[in-house]
């Protein structure tokens, strides 16, 4: 008799590869049913990515998008056991290579990142927030920021314009913050200027008082009245959007 | 107890209306662990009202390459955080060649598979510190069979001392597709190991094929098979109604829950009569 050692595993491998590629269908007991596994498996992947990336799919076009999904699933060993995280692997895969249709589009890559971040921020684990008061008690109070925020640097204004209407003349430097609203837990997007980005990044890395923010803004603008006005604008925007949550008092030494 | 698969589509109505009154809810840990924000908050509200049963999707006890211990540890943490009553999974594989496939594929009914699956189950049980409950899968075709499915399941249960989740709809669907007697199959199961039952609807695609969609009402022959299964079990076991797609009005789901409960209670009452009359 021929050796059957690991024959079982070889059969499992062949069904798995067939599900990923749609070719080299293994022999099974009811041959006409085997294709349903390919169909069902691929549908899960296709539907998950379609739901996660509506804007990217629209920009690429349905045909190129489907080819990109099929190529990804064939070539990439999906690592996450949580299917809702699969879009992250898809967008990372295409940060390093072109779509199989030859589409090499920086804007599409940025759109993939942007759409994944929406899912990631919506689903991410809760991050600890220091106890805070809505109103400052002291001029040396420290701002308490919402830590559930990501900031994305972009070359195209995909967060403010329909991607299909963006041209090379729009190319520039843009920043968008993607954060989870502290109360509603819904995701919000905000177009940011560079100084605001710096303030948000820094206050999520270290404890800052109003004086610290003034000092940071003075690097961009020497007129103190203008700085105070900009700071006021920043505070109003950040508190209204729950990007800033409140204040905590400096520990006394 | 009769429970329902917790769906985002009806979470608010479940919490704030009386349209659906399950005894427990069930979730797939993969969809709810390591998350925060809105859905974590909603799940915790639901857990204030209902006990949680967990039914996994990605464990892949049938994987030739073994199980992922990091993933099992994360599942364990979730089960502890949510004080889950039980954790069940599928006697299938969904990962092979180091790649997840996100669907449940049939394990060949071979001795080689029994050995690997048993090793995988033992490892999972060691990490979890609890007995795994495995569901009989539905399958459209068979890769290889050295033995009948019933023997395959019995041998794995015997070797690992795992428990069994009997999916009555899967038995019905498999019996239809592979031309065997569903009642005989139920009788061949290690019924003393059954700790949980699933009930669901399905989609008949053609004269030869039914797909286990969880997207339709339960049909009468599946209720009949459930009645038979309860008669064979002779004891109370929690039962879940699975409805993942085409979700109707919750009052319709409640009627199905009531029907499951009535069959269960009636079966247990008959058992009481038999015991008292003896």
Query: A with B: how many residue pairs have Cβ under 8 Å apart?
Result: 142
- CA B76, distance to chain mean position in Å, is 18
ipTM: 0.92
Report the mean per-residue pLDDT for chain B: 93
Q: Is A30 on the interface with B (CB under 8 A)?
A: yes
Res B275: pLDDT: 66
- The model's pLDDT over A218-232, given as tens digits with 9 standing for 90+, comes to 998 889 999 999 999
- Longest Cα–Cα distance in chain A: 91
What is the mean predicted confidence (pLDDT) over B226-253?
Answer: 93
Judge whether A124 is closer than 8 Å to chain B, CB to CB.
Answer: yes
**Inter-chain touch A77–B38, beta carbons under 8 Å:** no
Tell me the shortest Cα–Cα distance from A34 to chain B, in angstroms.
6
What confidence tens digit (pLDDT) does each residue in A142-190 have? Answer: 999 999 999 999 999 999 999 889 989 999 999 999 999 999 999 999 9
User: Would you state the pLDDT for residue A1?
Assistant: 35
For the stretch B93-134, pLDDT in tens is 999 999 999 999 999 999 999 999 999 999 999 999 999 999
| HSE-CB for B117 with a 13 A CA cutoff | 33
Residue of B nearest to A28 (CA): B143
The answer to whether the Cβ–Cβ distance between A185 and B95 falls below 8 Å is: no
Q: Give the count of beta carbons closer than 10 Å to the beta carbon of residue A54.
A: 10
CB contact at 8 A, B60 and B105: no
Task: Mark yes or no for CB contact B141/A29 under 8 Å.
Answer: yes
Q: Which pLDDT belongs to residue A3?
A: 40
Cα B247 to Cα B215: distance, rounded to the nearest angstrom:
7
**What is the C-alpha separation between B143 and B130, in angstroms, rounded?**
31
Put simply, the answer to whether B34 touches A37 (Cβ < 8 Å) is no
When pLDDT is averaged across residues B163-190 and rounded to a whole number, the result is 95
Average pLDDT (B16-23) is 94
- Give residue B201's pLDDT: 83
Region B225-245: what's the mean pLDDT? 94
d(CA B48, CA B25): 11
Return d(Cα B120, Cα A186) in angstroms, integer.
40
Copy the structure tokens of residue A249: 């008092």
Helices (H), chain B: 11-16, 29-32, 37-49, 69-81, 111-128, 149-160, 168-178, 182-188, 220-233, 250-277
Helical pair A7-21 and B111-128, crossing angle rounded to 10 deg: 80
Residues of B in contact with A20 (CB under 8 A): 99, 101
Helical axes B37-49 vs A106-123, angle rounded to 10°: 30
User: Out of A83, A84, A126, whose CB is closest to B37?
Assistant: A126
| Chain B interface test: which of A16, A32, A179, A186 (most B C-beta within 10 Å) | A16
The distance of Cα B126 from the centroid of its chain, to the nearest Å, equals 21
Residue from B160, B78, B76 nearest B120 by CA: B160
How far apart CA B141 and CA A33 sit, in angstroms, is 6
Q: Distance, in angstroms, between A185 CA and closest chain B CA?
A: 5
What local confidence, expressed as pLDDT, does residue A252 receive? Answer: 61
**Is A33 in contact with B68 (Cβ distance < 8 A)?**
no
Nearest to B22 by CA among B199, B245, B168, B191: B199
**Alpha-carbon distance A179 to nearest alpha carbon in chain B (angstroms):** 11
Which of A45, A104, A37 has the alpha carbon at shortest distance from A70? A45
Pairing relationship of beta strands B99-105 and B52-55 according to DSSP bridges: unpaired
> Which residue, chain included where needed, has tokens 């920009």?
A59
SS3 content of chain A, % helix, strand, coil (to 5): 50, 10, 35
Rounded to whole angstroms, the Cα distance separating A16 from A41 reads 10
DSSP A184: T
Q: How many CB atoms sit inside 10 A of residue A166's CB? A: 17
Query: What pLDDT digit, counting tens, does each position of B46-62 carry?
Result: 999 999 999 999 999 99
Strands B133-135 and B86-90: parallel
Rounded distance between C-alpha atoms, residue A90 and residue A47, angstroms = 13
pLDDT value, residue B277: 62
CB contact A26 to B (< 8 Å): yes
Q: Cβ contact (<8 Å) for B37 and A180?
A: yes
Q: Which residues of chain A lie closer than 8 angstroms to B177, CB-CB?
A: 30, 33
Site of tokens 């290579």:
A97
Give the nearest partner residue to A16 out of B58, B96, B110, using CB atoms.
B96
- The minimal CB distance from B144 to the residues A11, A30, A186 is found for A11
Q: Point out the residues of chain A with pLDDT beneath 70.
A: 1-6, 103-104, 252-253
pLDDT score for A103: 67
For residue B25, what are the CA distances in angstroms to A40, B47, B102, B252, B258? 26, 8, 22, 17, 15
As given in the structure block, the two tokens for residue B135 are 């569901």
């Amino acid at each position: 008799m021929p050796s059957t050692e690991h024959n079982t595993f070889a059969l499992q491998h062949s069904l798995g590869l067939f599900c990923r590629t749609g070719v080299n269908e293994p022999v099974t007991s009811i041959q006409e049913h085997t294709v349903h596994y390919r169909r069902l498996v691929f549908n899960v992947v296709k539907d998950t990515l379609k739901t996660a990336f509506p804007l990217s799919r629209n920009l690429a076009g349905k045909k190129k998008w489907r080819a990109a999904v099929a190529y990804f699933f064939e070539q990439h060993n999906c690592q996450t056991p949580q299917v809702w995280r699969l879009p992250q692997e898809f967008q990372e895969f295409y940060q390093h290579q072109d779509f199989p249709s030859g589409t090499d589009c920086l804007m599409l890559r940025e759109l993939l990142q942007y759409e994944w971040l929406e899912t990631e921020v919506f689903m991410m684990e809760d991050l600890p927030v220091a106890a805070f008061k809505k109103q400052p008690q002291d001029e040396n109070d420290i701002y308490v920021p919402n830590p559930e925020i990501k900031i994305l640097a972009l070359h195209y204004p995909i967060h403010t314009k329909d991607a299909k209407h963006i041209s090379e003349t729009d190319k520039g430097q843009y920043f968008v913050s993607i954060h989870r609203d502290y109360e509603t837990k819904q995701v919000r997007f905000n177009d940011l200027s560079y100084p605001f980005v710096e303030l948000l990044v820094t206050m999520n890395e270290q404890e800052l008082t109003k004086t610290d923010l003034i000092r940071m803004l003075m690097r961009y603008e020497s007129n103190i009245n203008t700085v105070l006005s900009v700071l006021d604008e920043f505070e109003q925007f950040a508190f209204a959007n729950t990007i800033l949550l409140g204040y905590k008092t400096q520990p006394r030494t | 107890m009769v429970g329902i698969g917790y769906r985002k589509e009806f979470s608010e109505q479940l919490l704030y209306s009386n349209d659906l009154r399950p005894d427990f809810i069930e979730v797939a840990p993969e969809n709810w662990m390591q998350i925060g924000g809105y859905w974590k908050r909603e799940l915790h509200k639901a857990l204030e009202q209902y006990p949680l049963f967990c039914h996994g999707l990605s464990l892949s006890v049938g994987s030739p390459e073994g199980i992922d211990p990091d993933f099992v540890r994360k599942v364990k943490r979730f089960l502890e955080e949510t004080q889950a009553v039980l954790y069940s999974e599928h006697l299938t594989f969904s990962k092979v060649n180091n790649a997840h496939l996100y669907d449940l594929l049939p394990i060949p009914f071979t001795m080689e598979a029994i050995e690997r699956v048993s090793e995988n189950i033992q490892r999972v049980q060691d990490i979890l510190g609890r007995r795994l409950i495995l569901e009989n899968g539905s399958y459209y075709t068979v890769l290889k069979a050295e033995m009948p499915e019933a023997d395959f399941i019995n041998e794995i249960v015997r070797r690992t001392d795992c428990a069994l989740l009997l999916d009555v709809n899967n038995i019905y669907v498999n019996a239809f597709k592979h031309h065997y007697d569903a009642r005989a199959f139920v009788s061949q199961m290690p019924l003393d190991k059954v700790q949980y039952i699933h009930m669901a609807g399905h989609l008949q695609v053609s004269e030869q094929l039914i797909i286990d969609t969880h997207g339709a009402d339960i049909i009468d022959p599946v209720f009949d098979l459930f009645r038979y299964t309860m008669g064979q079990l002779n004891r109370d076991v929690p039962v879940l109604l699975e409805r993942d797609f085409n979700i109707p009005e919750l009052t319709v789901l409640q009627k199905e829950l009531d029907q499951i409960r009535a069959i269960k209670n009636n079966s247990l009452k008959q058992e009481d009569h038999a015991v008292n009359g003896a």
